[in-house]
A and B are shown apart, each in its own frame.
Chain A
Amino acid sequence: MTTCVVGVGNELRGDDGVGLVVARALEGTLPKDVRVLECEGEPVSLLSAWEGCERTIVVDATQSGAQPGTIRRIAAHDGPLPPELGRSSTHLLGVAEAVELARALDRLPGRTIVYGIEGAVFDTGAELTEAVATAAALVAASIRRELESGR
């Protein structure tokens, strides 16, 4: 199964960069046929990243008011991201919108998993919050297991 894992974010804006942190932790540790990508621009480019993929896993920071470090795993192929996450992505034309755009155009991979990690600090130049860094390691481990078990 052609698979890509995409970390979304801006590493210069504190916890916003957590998706990239997860992608970097996974780089080189996954089976060779799994592509690991970093998306630092706007998430519409996810649609080209997904081209030809049957399975994708996307990791992004969320800002929904939950406890920092809260991890959510959503099977986006089943339906839209929950509203409290949909518009709390830190990118306005965000991951939720990219997922829906892909769904409308029949370009969504058959298995699309979105991991959201709740951030606390999004200021330019801020460091990654400790709880968020811990969550990043957990999500990376979870993605590794997920890809090994074919879940």
Chain B
Amino acid sequence: MSDAATKTKTIRTDYLARVEGEGGMRVRMRGDRVVDVQLKIYEPPRFFEAFLRGRQFTEAPDITARICGICPVAYQMSSCLAMESLAGVEVDGQLHALRRLLYCGEWIESHTLHIFMLHAPDFLGVASAVELAKINPELVETALRLKKIGNEVMRVVGGREVHPINVKVGGWYKTPSRAQLEALVPDLEWAKAASLETVRIVAGLDFPELEQDYEFVALDAGGEYPIDRGARLVSTRGLDIPIAEFYDHIVEEHVEHSNALHARLRERGSYLVGPLARYALHRGLLSPDALAAADEVGLEKVVQNPFRSIIVRAVELVHACDEALRLVAEYEEPAEPAVEVVPQTGWGHGASEAPRGVLYHRYRLGAGGAILDAKIVPPTSQNQRSIEEDLFAFVSAHASMPEEELRLRCEQAIRNYDPCISCATHFLTLEVERE
């Protein structure tokens, strides 16, 4: 090989801002051909798994809530469900309705943050939410108000906005009064109108071309759009298993370039979890107005362009507002704030739909409810292979794009997944190596 052919051009750029946490990405190219894409954006929460060992089963919701400042409710719910399923307890009726309401608050808050503050700047050609606020303050004000309403739902139901303290295995420490929930209605109605408008706004953005043939995986929660629970895991290619069989069908593999584990389906390889998957599998379970909003903007029934996930997130925002309003309207104060959960020895499995996708927890309990083993599989570690495949396809198709634009588009492609990498190692760097 000549000197010129082996010369590697490395462009190191600033870390990828606006993703929760830090990480890195490297694209290697030979001429205009992509040779390899390596992403190291997410390390699974192994520290927490170790920290949980020896703790009481009742402590899992509070401990795992601290894994993520954006989606603490997801961690709380998946851990509660795991403990309850092992004990043979189902939290239902109004106790369940409150969980779903709390989770709607998290969806509103998290989806809003991602749509407006993190992802929209990519589409509008501005560097950040700060720049967006300068050119379109009304849009950012709308986002702040929407986010605040999500936070308010979390505060009223969960006791606190960030790490709700009112959640426990079996239900709640204290349930809210009807009047407390009814006070949320005017804000939720405003949020719904703003969400409908958001669908129209984001549907009008320009979307880079990319069509991927994903296997979509989401929970199945019977007759409801999966949010706070789901007994089965289903896919667009026929996967249909009880949650307890998660590890029979999905493997987590160590990848050489990072400490992360990448999940894949044993049979078929990469898969995708999150809004695109929920929408593809459960579109018919969206609220009538969310569905009408999707139809109004011509959203396809199965979205295969990952850049269009921003529209699906906005549709889910409408759904979360509708669900919250419905749950508040139907609320009756429960007689007891929780059901008793007597710990059993054995393996417990629980999963819920974090804003970013399926979050699976598995615990092994010993005598007296002590946690002997904990496994947590967050959505971002399941999506990492799909993100790498998207980047591979996108860079391959746009190899002649100017370096700077290519870099920005790659960042945008990563943000399609709303990756939660808050517990990863520090800052994401992006390198494009041309051989």
Interfacial residues, chain A to chain B (CB-CB below 8 A):
10-12, 39-42, 44-45, 47-48, 63, 87, 90, 92-93, 97, 100-101, 104-105, 122, 124-125
Contact = CB atoms under 8 A, between A and B. Distances in A.
Contacts of A92: 15, 17-22, 427
Interface stretch (B130-138, B237-245, B360-368): B130-138
A39 B160 CA distance: 11
B19 A40 contact: no
Contacts of A47: 144
Given A101-B130, A101-B140, A125-B51, A48 B66 contact: no
A122 B426 contact: yes
A-B complex: 9 closest residue pairs judged by Cβ atoms:
A41-B69, A104-B133, A41-B162, A124-B47, A100-B130, A125-B47, A40-B162, A104-B134, A48-B148
Interface residues on B, range: 35 or more
B287 interface: no
Contact of B141 (A39, A42, A87, A105): A105
A92 B144 CA distance: 18
A119 B4 CA distance: 44
A44 B117 contact: yes
Given A101-B140, A104-B137, A42 B20 contact: yes
A48 B149 CA distance: 11
B385 interface: no
24 contacts: A11-B66, A41-B161, A42-B70, A44-B147, A45-B161, A47-B144, A87-B14, A90-B426, A92-B15, A92-B19, A92-B21, A93-B17, A93-B20, A93-B129, A97-B128, A100-B130, A101-B129, A104-B133, A104-B137, A104-B140, A105-B137, A105-B141, A122-B426, A125-B47
Contacts of B137: 104-105
B117 A93 contact: yes
Given A12-B66, A41-B162, 15 more contacts: A39-B162, A40-B162, A41-B69, A44-B144, A44-B147, A47-B144, A48-B147, A48-B151, A92-B19, A93-B17, A97-B129, A104-B130, A104-B134, A104-B140, A122-B426
B118 interface: yes
Interface of B: 14-15, 17-22, 47-48, 51, 66, 69-70, 113, 117-118, 128-130, 133-134, 137, 140-141, 144, 147-148, 151, 161-163, 422-423, 426-427
B278 to A, nearest CB: 23
A42 to B, nearest CB: 6
B147 to A, nearest CB: 7
Nearest to A47: B144
Nearest to A51: B148
A97 B48 CA distance: 29
Contact of A41 (B70, B141, B148, B427): B70
A97 B163 contact: no
Contact of B113 (A44, A104, A125): A44
A137 B90 CA distance: 47
A48 B144 contact: yes
A40 B62 CA distance: 14
Contacts of B147: 44-45, 48
B162 A45 contact: yes
Contacts of A12: 47, 66
Nearest to B112: A44
A15 to B, nearest CB: 13
A35 B10 CA distance: 49
A16 to B, nearest CB: 10
A47 B48 CA distance: 30
A122 B113 CA distance: 25
B69 A93 contact: no
Contacts of B19: 92
Nearest to B135: A104
Nearest to A94: B17
Contact of B163 (A40, A45, A105, A125): A40
Q: Which of A45, A87, A100 has the most CB of B within 10 A?
A: A45
B134 to A, nearest CB: 5
Contacts of B134: 104
Contacts of A39: 162
Contacts of A90: 426
